[in-house]
Amino acid sequence: METISDPHAGAARAANCPAQACPVTASARAADPGAFATLAAGLGPGPFAQISIFASPEADLEALCRGAAAQYPRAVVVGCTTAGEITEAGYAEGQILAFALPRAGFDVEMIVVPELDRLDTRRLIAEVLRARQGLGLRAADLASEFAVLLVDGLSGREDELVGALSGALGAVPLIGGSAGDGGLFRRSLIWAGGRLWENAAALSLVRGRCEVRPFSIDHMRPTEARMVVTAADPARRAVARINDEPAAAEYARLLGLPVEALSPYVFAAHPVLARAGGRHHVRAIQGVDASGALIFFAAIAEGLVLTLAEPGDIAAHLDAALADLAAGGAPSAILGFDCIFRRIEATGRQRARAVSEILARHRVTGFSTYGEQIGAMHVNQTLTGFAFYPTEARR
């Protein structure tokens, strides 16, 4: 594991500068040869504590992040590939988004967590505690403390990772997104510590001057239809049998569909829920394998009781939830990690344009994910993130 920080960051902070202390965003087309110049012009000169780059798989993530490190040598640079982008114009594809935290209002320590399939929980907890202590001493004047996680969305290790991190973070809010590669599900990449990684994660520990509020939005409601996982391979997140019947066939039967009709849109429109922590959480289905097993995006185990979900209106629910975030004063920026299945569902229900316009109107930027993290939970089919409020907005 490696911790990355700027030892001189605290010296550049101003005592009171709410405008300069808010996150800055910029976007560019992945196919544009001058994409990084466009991003740099949009971000401005900085200085920045951290720059996050969320890039379509079409883009050269390594070149973009190296460019950011060269242009802003005192910033911590992190990035990942996406399953779609959310820019200032809403839903987008083939784009690059930069989300920057000005040094006037933020300080950052980043920890690279390699080899997620060989996670050393004790070492990780010790490293996070050391990094939090160092950041707290260096940035004692910054009252807000939060954490942002980017993780390889094909690693299959998010549940174990956030479980370990929760032991070190305690009450510090954690929000995360699982990197993707469009809809291919072949290779998702993380950039951290000056190189590209697979099977890895980057944890940013942040202290900030402005108020930061975590949120997680989903529009799914439980139905009365329940099922029990009777055979599963947790390591593969695979369910072989439901109600002691072949899993894909039984899931299709409960929907009143032939198994041949199962598709990404069906999985997006009819996910299943697992109850934990007093509420239901979506367990999104990635697909069906050759044996007829259902492959999930989150932890699954024998004996787990699943409930079929019924979706509400995704656009109306999103608009109401984001309006609630602005009830005491509008955020200056919202960083959002939005599950790819929300975009698939919105497209299939012809609500993608409405959802996109709502995201743009509420100033949400981020990317579409292969899963989201909130606290100690790895979840699916949510819009999860942080809302950032200028110091004067919440009085």
Radius of gyration of the chain (CA): 20
Please answer whether residues 339 and 383 qualify as being in contact, where contact means their C-beta atoms are separated by less than 8 angstroms: yes
Question: Which are the contacts of 363, defined by CB distance < 8 A and separation ≥ 6?
Answer: 88, 331, 332, 333, 334
What pLDDT, on a 0 to 100 scale, did the predictor assign at position 13?
40
The SS3 assignment for 251 reads: helix
Residue 243 has phi, psi (to 5 degrees) of: 55, 30
Each residue's pLDDT, cut to its tens digit, for the chain (395 residues) gives 767 765 455 444 433 345 567 899 999 999 999 999 999 999 999 899 999 999 999 999 999 999 999 999 999 999 999 999 999 999 999 999 999 999 999 999 999 999 999 999 999 999 999 999 999 999 999 989 999 999 999 999 999 999 999 999 999 999 999 999 998 889 999 999 999 999 999 999 999 999 999 999 999 899 999 999 999 999 899 999 999 999 999 999 999 999 999 999 999 999 999 887 778 888 889 999 999 999 998 889 999 999 999 889 999 999 999 999 999 899 999 999 999 999 999 999 999 999 999 999 999 999 999 999 999 999 999 999 999 998 754 44
Rounded distance between C-alpha atoms, residue 111 and residue 317, angstroms: 35
The pair of three-digit structure tokens given for residue 172, joined into one six-digit string: 């510090």
pLDDT of residue 15: 36
Mean pLDDT for the chain?
92
pLDDT at 16: 38
Yes or no: say if 386 and 346 are a contact pair by the CB < 8 Å rule: no
CB atoms within 10 A of CB 206: 24
What would the pLDDT profile of 273-323 be if each residue is shown by its tens digit? 988 777 888 888 999 999 999 999 888 999 999 999 988 999 999 999 999
Work out the number of other CB atoms within 10 angstroms of the CB of residue 116.
19
**Reduced to 3 states, what is the DSSP secondary structure of residue 82?**
coil
Nearest in space to 196 (alpha carbons), one of 14, 330, 374, 59: 59
Q: Which residues of 91-102 are buried (b: 16+ CB within 10 A; e: fewer)?
A: bbebbbbbbbbb
DSSP 216-250: EE--EEEEEEEEEEEEEEGGGTEEEEETTEEHHHH
Q: How many CB atoms lie within 10 A of CB 225?
A: 14
| pTM for the full predicted model | 0.90
**Nearest CA-CA partner of 52 in 70, 35, 75, 74:** 75
- The DSSP call for residue 282 is E
Sequence-distant contacts of 257-266: CB under 8 A, at least 24 apart: 259/288, 259/292, 262/288, 264/183, 264/341, 264/344, 265/344, 265/345, 265/347, 265/348
E strands of 120-189, at which residues? 144-152, 174-179
Query: Which pLDDT score is estimated for 18?
Result: 52
Q: How far is the CA of 161 from the CAs of 38, 146, 348, in angstroms?
A: 35, 17, 32
Residue pair 362/355 in contact (Cβ under 8 Å)? The answer is no
The answer to whether the CB of 315 falls within 8 A of the CB of 354 is: yes
54 - beta bridge partners? Answer: 80, 97
Angle among Cα 303, 307, 311 to the nearest 5 degrees reads 155
Question: Are residues 192 and 75 in contact, defined by beta-carbon separation less than 8 angstroms?
Answer: no
